[in-house]
Amino acid sequence: MKESEKVVEGIQFQSEDEKLLLEEKESLRKLRMQREERLGKEKQELKARLEDGFELPGNGGNEKGQDKSQSVPFFSPSGVPARISKSGSPDNAGPKKGIIEKPLKNMLIIGAVIVFLLLAGGWGLIYGLLPAAEDAGNPINNHANIPVDPVEASLSSSRPAPENPESVSDSPVAFSDLSDSFKNSIEMEFVLIPAGEFLMGSPEEEAGRGKDEGPVHPVQIEKPFYLGKYEVTGEQWCEVMGTEPLSPGESELPAAEVSWEDVQIFIEKLNKLEGTAKYRLPSEAEWEYACRAGSSSRYSFGDEESKLAEHAWFESTPYSGSRHPVGLKEPNAWGLYDMHGNAWEWVQDTWHNDYSEAPEDGRAWEGGVFSYRVTRGGSVTGSAADCRAANRIWFTPNARSPDLGFRLLREA
């Protein structure tokens, strides 16, 4: 006999699995025999009880004169009748364990599942209600402590609520819904500039033109924006930056001796103060578009240099050589003051030697060969040619000068 072969009770097996299978069948056979024997005994007990006068339920009587309140027939799951005594327990031993064990387990499992579902549904309802309750009592969610952007406030008060609030951030605000101007919390005034297209740069025949002003190319300003009605003043600079106030004679002068890098800090602080991220320097294209105000001439008002003194502080005007309070000269057609003269104005772009490959969508042109930043508009110490709409020069981003300032754009 091979080592793997085994003999159990006179039977030879080829493997352990065959042995286990036979043993399992033998166990089942013994269980069936025990069950049949037990059922036989129960039938005999029932027959004996019936012969003694035991009455099945529903037979309409109590021939032995029993008090029904004292003893009531009870049928166990096994089918064997028992009697319930006054104490509430069967007179006999009750249902057999093997018969009731499986239904009891099933009932317990079903009950546990029902309880779990009820608890899950209850907690789901509670958690569904909690966010609304928290929002109702949370000042952060209600925006109680967030500064209100004045433009958003003015628009929301006059504009009907959209049907789908989620689409607000993706949908541009119609030009007709924007106010023509507004003031922010520190009294900075802004004018609405419409979207449109213009020719940027100057033609070769324009007097005072530089090569860096060409080639002339079309630029599409796709969205309206707000631009400062005036250059940022010294008073506004001190308020945002938290420095000591200037004397009354200096508070309305353009903020000067500020570098491009200084201006970026100012913008960051102002955006935080106003609770927005929409304040920035204009791009070079946006600045020229707003300066021209629909014109294509040397200046916003035409080509006549003789009229420049009505619109600008520059070297040929009386009291030249120092900055003057903003807003004293004539504005351009879109209501912007000092776009010509008074102080050079920083824009966002880096310097490029000409407009070859310049963007045509109005965005700032970054990535120049040098880190220099562009300024526009001329100044109180500059010539009439410096004040032309197309004129452009550069400074290093950390440069400061008594006639170097800026004005801000606020996205609509």
pLDDT in tens, 205-250: 999 999 999 999 999 999 999 999 999 999 999 999 999 888 878 8
Q: What pLDDT band is residue 173 in, cutting at 50, 70 and 90?
A: low
Q: Which amino acid is residue 21, in one-letter code? A: L
Q: What pLDDT band is residue 23 in, cutting at 50, 70 and 90?
A: confident
pTM above 0.95, yes or no: no
- Expressed in angstroms, the distance from the first to the final Cα of the chain is 97
The residue ranking higher by pLDDT, 64 or 119, is 119
Q: d(Cα 363, Cα 265) in Å, to the nearest integer?
A: 21
- pLDDT tens profile 188-213: 999 999 999 999 999 999 999 999 99
Comparing C-alpha atoms, which of 230, 198, 202 is closest to residue 215? 202
Q: For position 372, what pLDDT does the model report?
A: 96
Average pLDDT score, the chain: 76
Kindly state which CATH superfamily the domain 150-160+175-411 is placed in: paralog of FGE (formylglycine-generating enzyme) (3.90.1580.10)
Question: Of 94-108, 267-281, 367-381, which range is least confident?
Answer: 94-108
Comparing C-alpha atoms, which of 130, 133, 177 is closest to residue 158? 177
The residue ranking higher by pLDDT, 85 or 398, is 398
**Which residues, 6+ apart, have CB-to-CB distance to 152 below 8 Å?**
276
**Which residues, 6+ apart, have CB-to-CB distance to 114 below 8 Å?**
none
- pLDDT tens profile 291-321: 999 999 999 999 999 999 999 999 998 876 7
Q: d(Cα 275, Cα 165) in Å, to the nearest integer?
A: 20
Looking up tokens 């070079």 gives 284
Q: d(Cα 239, Cα 243) in Å, to the nearest integer?
A: 7
**pLDDT exceeds cutoff 90 at 163:** no
Q: Are 78 and 96 in contact (CB under 8 A)?
A: yes
E runs forming strands in 129-184: 181-183
Hey, which of 2-16, 160-174, 309-323, 386-400 has the most confident mean pLDDT?
386-400
Classify residue 13 by its DSSP letter.
E
Q: d(Cα 251, Cα 249) in Å, to the nearest integer?
A: 6
